[in-house]
Amino acid sequence: MSEYSLKILICDDSMLMRKRLKESLSLCGCFDILEATNGQAAVDIYKEESPDLVFMDLVMPIKDGITAVFEIKEFDKKAKIIIASSSGTQENLKKAIKAGAIEFIQKPWGQDQLNRIIKNFTKKEE
C-alpha cells in the first residue's frame, strides 16, 4: 500500500493496544503517528498538533473517550475521530456518534478494516 502523509493520533490507555494499532496503521502506509494515554492527553495533543485523524478508546482514566470527543469537536468541528473500543454496545455507539465520532470500530479490529478506513479517508480528503 502507498504511503500517506496523514498525521494520526492514537488514544488508548493500553500500551499494547497503541502498539498494535500503530503497527497496523504502518501497514496501511501511515507513519506520522502520535500517542496519548488518556482522553485529557488526547485533547491536549489534538489542540497542539491538529492531527488529520484520531483513533479514540472509550474507557480510559482521567477523561473517557466520549468526553474527549466532545471537547475535541468543540475545539475543531471538522475533527475526524474514530472510536476504537471493545465496549461496542449500541448505547456506546450512539454516544460516540452523538459526540461527533465519524465511525466506531470494535476491538480487535482487522487489518482489512483499517485499510478500508484509511483508503476511504484519503479519498474524502482529495
User: For the chain, which residues make up each domain, given as ranges?
Assistant: 4-125
Q: What superfamily does domain 4-125 belong to in CATH? A: Response regulator (3.40.50.2300)
For residues 29 and 1, the answer to whether their CB atoms sit within 8 Å is yes
pTM, 2 dp: 0.91
pLDDT digits (tens, 9 = 90+) for 47-104: 999 999 999 999 899 999 999 999 999 999 999 999 988 876 778 778 888 989 998 8
